[in-house]
Amino acid sequence: IASMMHSTQLSPIFMAWSIAAVLRIALGSATVAAITAGGIVAPLIVTSGASPELMVIAVGSGSVIFSHVNDPGFWLFKEYFNLTIGETIRSWSALETIISVCGLVGCLLLSWAI
Protein backbone atom coordinates (compact mmCIF):
# COMPACT_ATOMS: atom_id res chain seq x y z
CA ILE A 1 0.00 0.00 0.00
CA ALA A 2 2.81 2.40 0.87
CA SER A 3 4.52 1.85 -2.49
CA MET A 4 1.21 2.42 -4.28
CA MET A 5 0.64 5.63 -2.32
CA HIS A 6 4.21 6.75 -2.91
CA SER A 7 3.70 6.62 -6.68
CA THR A 8 0.82 9.13 -6.55
CA GLN A 9 1.29 12.88 -6.61
CA LEU A 10 -0.90 13.48 -3.55
CA SER A 11 0.53 14.83 -0.34
CA PRO A 12 1.13 12.07 2.22
CA ILE A 13 -0.62 14.27 4.78
CA PHE A 14 -3.71 14.50 2.58
CA MET A 15 -3.63 10.74 1.99
CA ALA A 16 -3.39 10.03 5.73
CA TRP A 17 -6.31 12.37 6.41
CA SER A 18 -8.35 10.86 3.57
CA ILE A 19 -7.83 7.29 4.72
CA ALA A 20 -8.81 8.17 8.29
CA ALA A 21 -11.85 10.14 7.07
CA VAL A 22 -13.11 7.31 4.85
CA LEU A 23 -12.67 4.82 7.68
CA ARG A 24 -14.47 7.12 10.13
CA ILE A 25 -17.45 7.58 7.84
CA ALA A 26 -17.60 3.85 7.05
CA LEU A 27 -17.11 2.56 10.59
CA GLY A 28 -18.44 5.35 12.79
CA SER A 29 -15.68 4.96 15.36
CA ALA A 30 -13.01 7.63 15.58
CA THR A 31 -10.75 5.36 17.63
CA VAL A 32 -10.88 2.48 15.15
CA ALA A 33 -10.44 4.88 12.23
CA ALA A 34 -7.37 6.51 13.78
CA ILE A 35 -5.69 3.25 14.77
CA THR A 36 -6.38 1.57 11.43
CA ALA A 37 -5.35 4.60 9.37
CA GLY A 38 -2.20 4.96 11.45
CA GLY A 39 -1.24 1.38 10.68
CA ILE A 40 -1.92 1.85 6.99
CA VAL A 41 0.06 5.07 6.57
CA ALA A 42 2.97 4.29 8.94
CA PRO A 43 5.15 2.86 6.14
CA LEU A 44 4.40 5.97 4.09
CA ILE A 45 6.20 8.13 6.66
CA VAL A 46 9.46 6.33 5.94
CA THR A 47 9.12 6.24 2.16
CA SER A 48 7.86 9.81 1.72
CA GLY A 49 9.92 11.58 4.36
CA ALA A 50 6.80 13.26 5.76
CA SER A 51 6.88 14.62 9.28
CA PRO A 52 5.60 11.92 11.66
CA GLU A 53 4.08 14.57 13.90
CA LEU A 54 2.07 16.09 11.07
CA MET A 55 0.97 12.65 9.91
CA VAL A 56 -0.37 11.94 13.40
CA ILE A 57 -2.28 15.23 13.38
CA ALA A 58 -3.63 14.46 9.90
CA VAL A 59 -4.84 11.02 10.95
CA GLY A 60 -6.38 12.46 14.11
CA SER A 61 -8.10 15.19 12.14
CA GLY A 62 -9.44 12.76 9.57
CA SER A 63 -10.76 10.46 12.26
CA VAL A 64 -13.16 13.07 13.66
CA ILE A 65 -14.94 13.89 10.40
CA PHE A 66 -18.74 13.59 10.10
CA SER A 67 -19.95 11.76 13.16
CA HIS A 68 -23.19 9.94 12.35
CA VAL A 69 -25.54 7.27 13.71
CA ASN A 70 -22.79 4.62 14.06
CA ASP A 71 -20.98 6.82 16.59
CA PRO A 72 -21.90 6.68 20.30
CA GLY A 73 -20.91 10.35 20.64
CA PHE A 74 -23.58 11.24 18.11
CA TRP A 75 -26.25 9.69 20.32
CA LEU A 76 -24.88 11.28 23.49
CA PHE A 77 -24.98 14.71 21.88
CA LYS A 78 -28.48 14.07 20.46
CA GLU A 79 -29.94 12.93 23.77
CA TYR A 80 -28.14 15.47 25.95
CA PHE A 81 -29.45 18.38 23.89
CA ASN A 82 -32.80 16.70 23.09
CA LEU A 83 -32.36 17.03 19.32
CA THR A 84 -33.78 15.06 16.42
CA ILE A 85 -31.46 12.98 14.26
CA GLY A 86 -31.63 15.60 11.50
CA GLU A 87 -30.81 18.42 13.91
CA THR A 88 -27.89 16.44 15.28
CA ILE A 89 -26.50 15.83 11.81
CA ARG A 90 -26.86 19.51 10.93
CA SER A 91 -25.14 20.64 14.13
CA TRP A 92 -22.83 17.98 15.60
CA SER A 93 -21.84 16.25 12.36
CA ALA A 94 -21.34 19.52 10.52
CA LEU A 95 -19.19 20.90 13.35
CA GLU A 96 -17.05 17.77 13.45
CA THR A 97 -16.54 18.03 9.69
CA ILE A 98 -15.45 21.67 10.02
CA ILE A 99 -13.01 20.70 12.78
CA SER A 100 -11.60 17.90 10.62
CA VAL A 101 -11.11 20.10 7.56
CA CYS A 102 -9.50 22.85 9.66
CA GLY A 103 -7.09 20.25 11.05
CA LEU A 104 -6.18 19.17 7.52
CA VAL A 105 -5.65 22.75 6.37
CA GLY A 106 -3.51 23.44 9.44
CA CYS A 107 -1.38 20.36 8.75
CA LEU A 108 -0.90 21.28 5.12
CA LEU A 109 0.07 24.84 6.05
CA LEU A 110 2.53 23.60 8.65
CA SER A 111 4.06 21.13 6.20
CA TRP A 112 4.47 23.93 3.70
CA ALA A 113 6.03 26.24 6.31
CA ILE A 114 8.45 23.67 7.72
- pLDDT digits over 8-46, tens only? 888 999 999 999 999 999 999 999 999 999 999 998 888
φ and ψ at residue 27, rounded to 5 degrees? -95, -30
- Which residues form the domain of 17? 2-113
pLDDT at 2 over 70: no
Number of domains composing the chain: 1
Please write the tens of the pLDDT for every residue from 59-98: 999 999 999 999 999 999 999 999 999 999 999 999 999 9
pLDDT of 98-112, one tens digit each? 999 999 999 999 999
Q: What's this model's pTM, rounded to 2 decimal places?
A: 0.92
